[in-house]
A = this chain, B = another copy of it.
């Protein structure tokens, strides 16, 4: 255990090494690291008193709050697993999470949704209301010491998007979260004094990973319930925020909210966006730009796996792997595919998750051969950088060759006449399957099937080109992903290997 460093250990050291630094700001609440450390110990005691034992789950039903970080750290001290639920989900979806995760304690913010969930839930878990009840429990907890918890134990469960069926809870250990945070410190050159505004959802790894990197470098985490442009401006000004979770339209909304220049946003070091925005903030044009988010990631790798900031004008727009992971493009046989060819992005290293909660069958498949199979396709470019191709939803087997729909779709979409495209496999007596393209054209565009086939042949190996092309008005979708089952039914797909 001499090598163990849990999230709670990180805070325990900050309490000693940075006694004057503000760790948490949320409304009127301000906590230094020693105060946070002491509250985390009391909260761990309160949870233990409410029946939470090592390995048990604690569920948060609510918006962003200081309590999310405190509960995560208290679970770390106690050896339990914390899950911040996605509060944007429906009652049915949250009911699934409750039954899937079987938490021993639920900490909830009152709303119509949580009230309904609580009324319908089994009586088993302890329900603790955020706010007064939470604070009372914390104040009443008997101070006690906790035995060291191995940092290889899971401490955070994040439900990840499911393309089909129900979501799964990815389990992340303290070791993985600390490693991922450290990797962000390296790639973003984060420093003590970093002040992060948690305005993105903490149930998503994108915000959580910056919250934890800020913790790791003994910075200040500022919490706000959800994205409100006016409040974001006020908090950046009041807390001299150096970084926030902002993209595209969110940046426009913040710029508009501060159009009169009421708030001083100059503490924010951010990527250039528009003339108005650049005038308000401090533009960070260093290669280490703290707010540049390019790369490839997913919850299962702890957040980011590859970083554009490590690619310096490379060919692949997903950049290069972080210093604490290994990445390989593997074929269906588990062997590495050569540079320039598409394979499944597979990963190994310090930041990786520990499998999904209570899904031994899925874990065996995803972690086969000692590599995590991301379910996404990528290509290693000759300069070593990585291109993300798309999700590996299924594979077409044409003769001895493997064809991934996402790669052919990408090629089709580079044709100026194509608005959208999806690729399926149709049964073929000679080749087992043949590649079929379903294509929606741009308004008034004129193109023949042969034109498109030739276009793809110019970009990819010949066996990947479609043998059949069918035009439709629109591709049916599940969110951003083609509804392949509907496409198969409508256009004769089927006979996929392994399905």
Given contacts A5-B348, A192-B312, contact A321 B17 (CB under 8 A): yes
Q: Is A55 part of the binding interface, using a Cβ–Cβ cutoff of 8 Å?
A: no
Using an 8 Å CB-CB cutoff, how does the interface string of A215-229 with B read, 1 for contact, 0 for none? 011100000000000
In the assembled complex, the CB of A374 is this many whole angstroms from the nearest CB of chain B, namely 13
Do residues B327 and A17 form an inter-chain contact, with CB atoms below 8 A? yes
Chain B residues with CB below 8 A from A4, complex form: 348-349
Do residues A384 and B18 form an inter-chain contact, with CB atoms below 8 A? yes
Q: Is A462 part of the binding interface, using a Cβ–Cβ cutoff of 8 Å?
A: no
Given contacts A13-B321, A323-B217, A328-B16, contact A3 B367 (CB under 8 A): no
Q: Is A20 part of the binding interface, using a Cβ–Cβ cutoff of 8 Å?
A: yes
Chain B residues with CB below 8 A from A382, complex form: 19
**A363-391 interface with B by 8 A CB criterion:** 367, 370-372, 380, 382-386
In the assembled complex, the CB of A284 is this many whole angstroms from the nearest CB of chain B, namely 14
Using an 8 Å CB-CB cutoff, how does the interface string of A140-172 with B read, 1 for contact, 0 for none? 000000001000100000000000000000000
Using an 8 Å CB-CB cutoff, how does the interface string of A7-31 with B read, 1 for contact, 0 for none? 0011011001111100000000000
Please pick, from B1, B12, B182, B370, the residue contacting A186 in the complex, using a CB distance under 8 A. B182
Number of copies: 2
Chain B residues with CB below 8 A from A18, complex form: 320, 384
Identify which of A17, A148, A186, A383 gathers the most chain B CB atoms within 10 Å of its CB.
A17
Please pick, from B12, B176, B383, the residue contacting A19 in the complex, using a CB distance under 8 A. B383
Do residues B19 and A384 form an inter-chain contact, with CB atoms below 8 A? yes
Q: Bound complex: CA of A325 vs CA of B111, how far in Å?
A: 42
Q: Bound complex: CA of A392 vs CA of B382, how far in Å?
A: 55
**What count of chain A residues pass the 8 Å CB interface test?**
57
Do residues B2 and A372 form an inter-chain contact, with CB atoms below 8 A? yes
Q: Which chain B residue shows the least CB distance to A372?
A: B2
Q: Is A175 part of the binding interface, using a Cβ–Cβ cutoff of 8 Å?
A: yes
Chain B residues with CB below 8 A from A9, complex form: 326, 348-349
Do residues A5 and B350 form an inter-chain contact, with CB atoms below 8 A? yes
Do residues B1 and A370 form an inter-chain contact, with CB atoms below 8 A? yes
Can you list 17 residue pairs at the A/B interface with Cβ under 8 Å? A1-B348, A1-B370, A2-B352, A2-B367, A2-B370, A2-B372, A3-B176, A3-B349, A4-B349, A10-B323, A16-B327, A17-B321, A18-B384, A186-B217, A192-B312, A216-B323, A217-B323
Given contacts A4-B349, A16-B384, A17-B321, 12 further A-B contacts (CB under 8 A): A2-B370, A13-B321, A13-B326, A17-B384, A17-B385, A18-B384, A19-B384, A148-B370, A182-B182, A182-B186, A186-B190, A217-B323
